[in-house]
Amino acid sequence: MNLTLATDDTGGPEIFASLQGEGPSIGMPVAFVRLSRCNLACQWCDTAYTWRFEGDNRPHRDGLAYDRKANQVTLSPEETAARIAALGQKRLVITGGEPLLQAPALAAMLEHLPDMSVEIETNGTVAPPVRLDIRVDQYNVSPKLAHSGNPADLALVPERLDAWASEPRAFLKFVIASPADVEEVLALHRRYRFRPERVFLMAEGKDSATLRARQAWLSELCLKHGFRMSDRMHIHLYGDTRGT
């Protein structure tokens, strides 16, 4: 039961230390591990190398198809945990792709990291099994809106959104490209009764100029509706690059 990880620019596993760039833990020093594979296909995804492999014709704005062998690497849970521990951080962010697709192997990995605080970044469509759930301190749940290009019946699973709305460890983070996207968030908020202080709106963008332009109007909508706004700090610091 190995883990399938994304690769960094050297071809090795994408395991690295950085500052968390998004959501409630923004600015915190953390270790990151990025897993490969996803059950959704966002057309603006900035980590398409984790899922859009050659032969996958799901739409993506860049139109790129990645060689699977060059962009995936497998490691045992023990080896993955050892590489994470060697980074010397107290907090771990597990991201993807969709990490919960590999929940059993993740649970095995975390059993080798008993002293780390753990947050998982997920699209919210997959339920975490108990063996993994007991080791997670925070879920950063990012349900995908219509502009992602995913069908709503795949991206917005009612029973999962009900569960996340009532989960005290979960924060909801919505990617916003236009004011119309905020209207969709408001409709979901009314239906699932998300707590506004646990909802983050984050501008979509892969460069600082795009983020700043969208944040100018997004900040006003956050103020109007009582939601929190998330930056993408890593984009300003490092650009749209792997291992950052």
User: What tokens appear for 214 in the block?
Assistant: 């969208």
3-state SS assignment for residue 117: strand
3-state SS assignment for residue 181: helix
Confidence band (pLDDT; 50, 70, 90) for 56? very high
Q: How large a percentage of the chain has pLDDT more than 90?
A: 98
Asked if residues 199 and 218 have their Cβ atoms less than 8 Å apart, the reply is: no
CA distance 233 to 50: 21
The single-letter code of the amino acid at 83 is: R
Domains of the chain: 3-173 (3.20.20)
Neighbouring C-beta atoms of residue 2, cutoff 10 Å: 14
3-state SS assignment for residue 235: helix
pLDDT value of residue 77: 98
User: What tokens appear for 185 in the block?
Assistant: 């968030």
pLDDT value of residue 181: 98
Confidence band (pLDDT; 50, 70, 90) for 161? very high
Which letter, b or e, does each residue of 225-244 get, where b requires 16 or more Cβ atoms within 10 Å of its Cβ?
eebbbbbbbbbeeeeeebbb
Please compute the mean of the pLDDT values over residues 41-45 and round it to a whole number: 97
Would you call the peptide bond into 97 cis, given omega within 30 degrees of 0 as the criterion? yes
pLDDT value of residue 76: 98
Per-residue pLDDT tens digits for 133-143: 999 999 999 99
Query: What Cα–Cα distance (Å) separates residue 242 from each residue in 6, 16, 85, 120, 200?
Result: 10, 10, 20, 18, 24
Query: 80, 194, 215: which is closest to 141 by C-alpha?
Result: 194
Query: What Cα–Cα distance (Å) separates residue 188 from each residue in 168, 193, 200?
Result: 18, 8, 13
Q: What's the chain's average pLDDT?
A: 97
Please compute the mean of the pLDDT values over residues 56-75 and round it to a whole number: 95
Please compute the mean of the pLDDT values over residues 53-72 and round it to a whole number: 94
Confidence (pTM): 0.97
Per-residue pLDDT tens digits for 183-217: 999 999 999 999 999 999 999 999 999 999 999 99
Please compute the mean of the pLDDT values over residues 62-81 and round it to a whole number: 96
Whose tokens are 């690769």? That residue is: 7
pLDDT value of residue 175: 98
Per-residue pLDDT tens digits for 84-133: 999 999 999 999 999 999 999 999 999 999 999 999 999 999 999 999 99
